[in-house]
A and B are shown apart, each in its own frame.
Chain A
Amino acid sequence: MLTEPQIQRYARQLLLRDVGERGQEALGAVLVELALPDEVAAAAAAYLRAGGTEVHGLALSDAPWAWTPPLLEAAPQRRLHVVAAPTVPERAAVVVGSDAGRAVLWSLGESGCRACLADGVRGLGPPDVGAAVQTGSLVALLVQRRALGLASPIEGLALSEGGAISTLAARPCPHRPPAVPEAVLRALLIHLASALPDEGCAVLVGRDDDVRLVPVENAQATHHARDPEAFPRTARTAFSLDPRAWLGLLREVDRTGERVLAIAHSHPDGGTHFSGEDRRSAAPDGLPLLPGVAHLVVAFSGGRPGAARWALWSDGDFLEMDCPLPSGS
């Protein structure tokens, strides 16, 4: 509960829908540690302190902004570290840099992907102190959004030389598999089981958290029958998305605004490994045919799904990670 002096001091922002008493308490529960050039840090510190968030300086600075308060009113519940590009320490929550005359800032939450933050920061130079006040205000904005629980897992802002502010779209995270609802996973397992003893295949498409299954016929048997030299494997050991269905699906997601999230296929022989053949098919020349699209391998044994693994393209290779299957599947 805020004290009377705090209510008087923060009256204007208490009126904001996204702040209120609880939001003001959240702003006060954060301690921001700034490791930025003095000019930018001074501006950020001024905006943050005016909003009720305390600031420490990590830089070796004796500038007035970097004073350390002798005693905080309460121990901070969260510490947010703001650093200057190109360094991105493990605990950085906000990174400030510059790119071709623009100030570029990225903010990462606890559920955000740190590898995506590193991708966003890659190539940025250190902050330009020429736009220190505006850049500092954006640091404060990103920190306050994080403190108030308004921020996306990862979000970015750019400030042009003319002063225009734009949001930077975080690309779909290629480092983590999509979150597939249990009901969709169950439907996938049923579809793949229906293809046994052949490999089955399907596509997962979606928008944000709305993921759906698109069962697709395995056209490998047809390809093999037509041209066994070009397609030496049968559908028992290989899959090939039916080309008509695949093209139709691409047109559909283009129309609906969805994305292809993952391509799933089964291994009827029991192995979940993303095989050499799988890798060659997904990245024939060492580059993924479908950047940002995950692959899911479901292994069957004795006609039942045993385990599943994701394969995600990252820095030149496919990383594999387990995909927990619904219990009783």
Chain B
Amino acid sequence: MTPDARIDITAEVCPMTFVRTKIALERLPIGGVLEVRLKGDEPLRNVPESARDLGHTVLGLEQLEDGTWRLLLRREGPAC
């Protein structure tokens, strides 16, 4: 699946990990897909969960060869 937007939050720490993700989702049209590159236990646990809490859909989560993770989110509306 080709995402509509990509962000890399591997250099961020909480709460900026989800702040970046939330803003990127808000900038997408409803139904748009966001790819989030992340690493570390905290964002791996919190970013998908926080996105779900706001009503968005987690489409996939996979570990890449370099040890980072690729999270795919679909923006649902209207709540952000």
Contact = CB atoms under 8 A, between A and B. Distances in A.
A17 B80 contact: yes
A201 B6 CA distance: 64
A13 to B, nearest CB: 10
B19 A14 contact: yes
A1 B24 CA distance: 11
Contacts of B80: 17, 20, 22
A187 to B, nearest CB: 33
B30 to A, nearest CB: 14
Given A7-B23, A21-B27, A12 B79 contact: no
Interface residues of A, number: 12
B70 interface: no
Contact of B19 (A15, A17, A22): A15
A179 B54 CA distance: 34
B18 interface: yes
B16 interface: yes
Contacts of A21: 23, 26-27
B80 to A, nearest CB: 5
Nearest to A20: B80
Contacts of B15: 11-12, 15
Contacts of A1: 27
A191 B61 CA distance: 62
Contacts of A11: 15-16, 19
Interface residues of B, number: 11
Q: Is the interface of B mostly helix, strand, loop or mixed?
A: helix
Contacts of B27: 1, 21
B26 A15 contact: no
Nearest to B19: A11
Contacts of A14: 19, 22-23
B77 to A, nearest CB: 12
A2 B23 contact: yes
Contact of B23 (A12, A17, A20): A20
A221 to B, nearest CB: 54
Contact of B18 (A7, A8, A15, A22): A15
Contacts of A2: 23
A52 to B, nearest CB: 14
A22 B26 contact: yes
A25 B18 CA distance: 19
A14 B80 CA distance: 10
A8 B16 CA distance: 8
A14 B23 CA distance: 8
A17 to B, nearest CB: 6
A17 B76 CA distance: 13
Contacts of B79: 17
Interface of A: 1-2, 7-8, 11-12, 14-15, 17, 20-22
Closest 7 interchain pairs by CB?
Answer: A20-B80, A11-B19, A21-B26, A21-B23, A20-B26, A14-B19, A11-B15
Given A2-B23, A11-B16, A15-B15, 11 more contacts: A1-B27, A7-B19, A14-B19, A15-B18, A15-B19, A15-B22, A17-B54, A20-B22, A20-B23, A20-B80, A21-B23
16 contacts: A1-B27, A7-B19, A11-B15, A11-B16, A11-B19, A12-B15, A14-B19, A14-B22, A15-B15, A15-B22, A17-B54, A20-B22, A20-B26, A20-B80, A21-B26, A22-B80
Interface of B: 15-16, 18-19, 22-23, 26-27, 54, 79-80
